[in-house]
Every structure is written in C-alpha cells, then in structure tokens.
Amino acid sequence: MNPSDPRPALRPRRSSISRRAALALALGLSVVGCGKHEPKKSAAPDSGAGGRQALRVGFAQIGAESDWRRANTQSIRDEAAARGVDLVFVDAQGSQANQIRAIRSFIAQGVDVIAFAPVVETGFEPVLREVKEAGIPVILTDREVEVSDPSLYATFIGADFVAEGRAAAEWLAGATSGQAGIAQLEGTPGAAPAIDRRAGFEEAIAAHPAMHIIKSQSGEFTRAKGREVMESFLNSPEGPRITAVYAHNDDMALGAIQAIEAAGKKPGVDILVVSIDGVKAAFQAMTEGSLNCTVECNPLLGPALFDAAEALAAGKTIERRIVTPARVFTGASSAAELPNRRY
C-alpha cells in the first residue's frame, strides 16, 4: 500500500438497506445481502447524467482552522468532483450547533450518506438517532464521537491520535535524554485529537521522571492562538523553565515559534518544538531549524471517504475502523520530504 494513500481495502459484509440497494442498482453496482435497516425517505434526485442517479453525500466540515483542515476539505471536494458525487458541503465554522443543524438539513434533503468530522466528541447522540431513524448511513471522518449505541455510525476513518501523542513524546524523550520542562499547546477543548494526543503524550512521558508538563492550555488548533498562549507561557513565572513545546498541531507550533523568536530565544535550539500534522509549512520550518519534529496525520481522506460511501450505497459493509498510517519526520528527514508534500 502507498503510505501516502490512506485508503484501506474494503471488505464486503452482510447487511444493506433497501434504499441503498435501489441506489446501488441505479449505479449499476452489485448488492451484497440485505439488511434490517429500513429507510424512510425517498431516493436521491436524478443527476441527469445518462439517467443514472448520482450518489448524494452530505458532509459537515468543522471549519478552516488550520492548514490540515483546509487540505482535508480540498481532498474531499476534489475526490467528490472526480467521482461525480453530488456533494452537499457545509462549513460549520467551529460550531457543534452548526454541525448538528447541517446534519438535520441533510436528513431533510434525503441525502444517501451523511459524513462529518465532529467538532467535539460528545453531544451528537440525539441527532445521530434521527439520522438512523431516517435510514441514512453515517461515516465519521478524522474524529470520533462518543455514543452509547455503536450502530449510530457505520465507520470511522482517521488517524490513531493516542499513538500520535506517544510518538511525539518518544521523539522528545530521545532528543532531551528524558529531561524537559514542557509547555503543551492543546487543541480545541473536548475535541478527540486534543483529548487523545494529550493522553498518548502523558502516558509516554510517565516513563521519564525528569520530563514534566509545566504549562498546558488550549491554543484551539490555530496559529494566532498558539502564538498568544505561548507568549503568556513565556511571560509567566514558569517561563524560564520551558525547554520544549509540544503542540497538538503544526499551526499552533508555528505560532509558538513566532512567540519564542519575539522573546529573543531561538526556537529549535533554546526551546525544542515538536508537533503533529506534517503540513508543508511545518516541513519548511524544519528545514530552517525552528521546528524539530512533526508526527504526520494524513488529511487526504477524500478517497477513503468516498470508497466507503459508495460501498455503503451498494449495500456492502465496510471495516468499522479505518486507520490512516502515520510517519515521524525530523529536521534531518525534512529536506528530502519537502518536495513530496501535497499539503
């Protein structure tokens, strides 16, 4: 498998719904089995292309808070266009309420599949029950939700955030011989990557008694907030003891680098910086020496998303968890990789 392509092999399973089966027949796809999930809504509108119905997918995106997110949106839009999928795209502008409203509007429009990257982990159960009641399959991309009923979504496609946090900690432990005063820039409160990246990192540094998180606060996954929070860390009484920054994404790390420079210190040397995502700007910072390490989290989820949506529409069952691969890049490996970065 190409490491930059997160698409898994899809495995046929037993269940299907009659609406999906009708859609599958319209798409000229074979239908595997039939299930008990009875749809309530009518079929998707005709695309007009050769009389076939286009697959209609509603996608509720979190927003445009980071380079990663923008690459994720582009991948979804590009892949939908390449496959002739009728994509109903909503940008929730960082608001869970907007995302829930978008999901309800997808139900009302009778889309074939609903997908979304949840802003936060909790609070989606009621709307997901409404989606289930409408007989529409749900795909989670990037982030997971916490629900008591696992049948409320068909699959979750995304990275292992706990493993990413662990990888960042292990790199830092190696680079500092297990001795660091760490400033942590957390993601959006309540978001799966903020919770899991913190958990994975803390679990791994627990093996190193001289590694301590001395400051920790949310920078909301944005560059501006990362800079602002890092400035306040450096000006705090603990500021002089900070020897490393762990940021839950590259954007916050890049903001922290600006704050370190403004404070007259050398990022990457006086204060080591490690983050997660692997966006192009992070590779540029690594080649310049201001960022030391990034753990890759692949945002190019469009192909895997629409593979899953098409399979569900065809009445096939897919893997419940589709994990995208990750790699760790450091200053040393960044120059060779920079020309290959697609986001």
Residues in touch with ligand AHR (CB under 6 A)? 65-66, 68-69, 142-143, 193, 221, 249, 251, 276-277, 297
Select 76 or 314, whichever has its Cβ closest to ligand AHR. 76
- Least distance to ligand AHR, CB of residue 187, Å: 6
Please, what is the minimum distance in Å from the beta carbon of residue 168 to ligand AHR?
12
Q: How far is the CB of 68 from ligand AHR (least distance, A)?
A: 3
* CB crowding 223-258: b at 16 or more within 10 Å, else e: bebbbbbbbebbeeeebeebbbbbbbbbbbbbbbbb
Cα torsion through 10, 14, 19, 25, rounded to 10: 70
Shortest Å distance, C-beta 124 to ligand AHR: 15
User: Nearer Cβ to ligand AHR, position 68 or 116?
Assistant: 68
In the chain the first and final C-alpha atoms are separated, in Å, by 20
Identify which of residues 224 and 269 has a Cβ nearer to ligand AHR in the complex: 224
CB of 142 to ligand AHR, least distance (A): 5
Count of beta carbons in the 10 Å neighbourhood of residue 57: 26
- Our CB check for ligand AHR shows the closer of 6 and 315 to be 6
Q: How many angstroms from the chain centroid is the CA of residue 114?
A: 16
Residue with Cβ nearer ligand AHR (23 or 60) = 60
Nearest approach, Cβ of residue 176 and ligand AHR (Å): 23
324 or 334: whose CB is closer to ligand AHR? 324
CB of 73 to ligand AHR, least distance (A): 11
Closest CB to ligand AHR among 239 and 299? 299
In the bound state with ligand AHR, the residue whose beta carbon lies nearer, of 19 and 69, is 69
HEC-encoded secondary structure of the chain: CCCCCCCCCCCCCCCCCHHHHHHHHHHCCCCCCCCCCCCCCCCCCEEEECCEECCEEEEEECCCCCHHHHHHHHHHHHHHHHHCCEEEEEECCCCHHHHHHHHHHHHHHCCCEEEECCCCCCCCHHHHHHHHHCCCCEEEECCCCCCCCHHHCCEEEECCHHHHHHHHHHHHHHHCCCCEEEEEEECCCCCHHHHHHHHHHHHHHCCCCCEEEEEEEECCCCHHHHHHHHHHHHHCCCHHHCCEEEECCHHHHHHHHHHHHHCCCCECCCEEEEEEECCHHHHHHHHHCCCCEEEECCCCCHHHHHHHHHHHHCCCCCCCEEECCCCEEEHHHHHHHHHHCCC
| Closer residue to ligand AHR (CB): 24 or 140 | 140
CB contact at 8 A, 119 and 131: no
**C-beta of 211: minimal distance to ligand AHR in Å?**
22
Least separation, in Å, of the C-beta of 235 and ligand AHR?
Answer: 26
